[in-house]
Amino acid sequence: SAVISQKPSRDICQRGTSLTIQCQVDSQVTMMFWYRQQPGQSLTLIATANQGSEATYESGFVIDKFPISRPNLTFSTLTVSNMSPEDSSIYLCSASAGDTGELFFGEGSRLTVL
Amino acid sequence: GENVEQHPSTLSVQEGDSAVIKCTYSDSASNYFPWYKQELGKRPQLIIDIRSNVGEKKDQRIAVTLNKTAKHFSLHITETQPEDSAVYFCAASRGDDKIIFGKGTRLHILP
């Protein structure tokens, strides 16, 4: 299994600012992902965080808005840039060890943009 | 890309009865189908999964069935209990790849 720590757990941000969410996994994992979950909604995949290279973004998400880093196997960051109220959501870091395919989630970062 | 449809969006069952949630997927290359449970304010957690080389898997009161030909899979919860109340998500993946989730089913267990 993998234990995933995310910070901040929540934040209130002003429109136009940017916020970086950090994700730390306690063991080496093969895959790391970032999901967004709006209140009462499903888990929407933003991107796959690739170690040492550019993230792979899903349709509707772009690097300028959601830059992602993954400098090593156990750490990743997601930045939400130039925030607007529509970006208010829970952002979840997740990781898979690859051999079982099981996806583990962090506790999420709840962002409120005013 | 993969698209996962999930039904129903809301399900209410009497305590002790069974609950069934159904999902379909679009990508015939998908071979891993997990189910996640998310309680209010908590992170999603895996409750059971199935791979395409089996048709059914059971773990105590929870079972999952898979029909690869029809591209659909289902979650069955028997003898439901109050602690089963949560949102359940089905998902599909090619295995060593990203996981795409359905829209979720909010399950209410009625006393």
**CB proximity A42 to B under 8 Å:** yes
**CB proximity B99 to A under 8 Å:** yes
* The dihedral sign for the CA sequence B28, A36, B74, A32: positive
CB-based contact A75:A9 (threshold 8 Å): no
d(C-alpha B19, C-alpha B77), whole Å: 5
Segment of A30-44, B74-88, B90-104 carrying the highest mean pLDDT:
B74-88
Neighbours of A85 (CB within 10 A): 10
Contact yes or no for B96 and A92 at CB 8 A: no
Longest dimension (CA), chain B: 41
CB-based contact A36:A91 (threshold 8 Å): yes
CB-based contact B89:B38 (threshold 8 Å): yes
Q: Model confidence over B29-67: pLDDT tens digits?
A: 999 999 999 999 999 999 999 998 889 999 999 999 999
For A48, which DSSP code? E
Per-residue pLDDT, B66: 96
Of the candidates A91, A95, A87, the one whose C-alpha atom is nearest the C-alpha of residue A113 is A87
Of the candidates B6, B40, B39, B36, the one whose C-alpha atom is nearest the C-alpha of residue B23 is B6
Confidence of residue B100 (pLDDT cuts 50, 70, 90): very high
Lowest mean pLDDT among A3-17, A23-37, B6-20: A23-37
Per-residue pLDDT, A29: 82
**CB proximity B14 to A under 8 Å:** no
Per-residue pLDDT, A47: 97
Radius of gyration of chain A (CA): 13
Per-residue pLDDT, A99: 66
Mean pLDDT for all residues in chain A = 93
Per-residue pLDDT, B64: 98
* pLDDT at B85 > cutoff 90: yes
Mean pLDDT for all residues in chain B = 95
Per-residue pLDDT, A28: 81
Contact yes or no for B98 and A106 at CB 8 A: no
Which residues lie below 8 Å from residue B22, measured CB to CB, with a gap of 6+? B6, B7, B72, B73, B74
Q: Model confidence over A63-106: pLDDT tens digits?
A: 999 999 999 999 999 999 999 999 999 999 999 876 677 899 99
**CB proximity B105 to A under 8 Å:** no
Per-residue pLDDT, A22: 98
CB-based contact A87:A80 (threshold 8 Å): yes
* pLDDT at A32 > cutoff 70: yes
Confidence of residue A1 (pLDDT cuts 50, 70, 90): confident
Residues 77 through 96 of chain A touching chain B, CB cutoff 8 Å? 92, 96
Per-residue pLDDT, B73: 97
Contact yes or no for A45 and B99 at CB 8 A: yes
Contact yes or no for B43 and A41 at CB 8 A: no
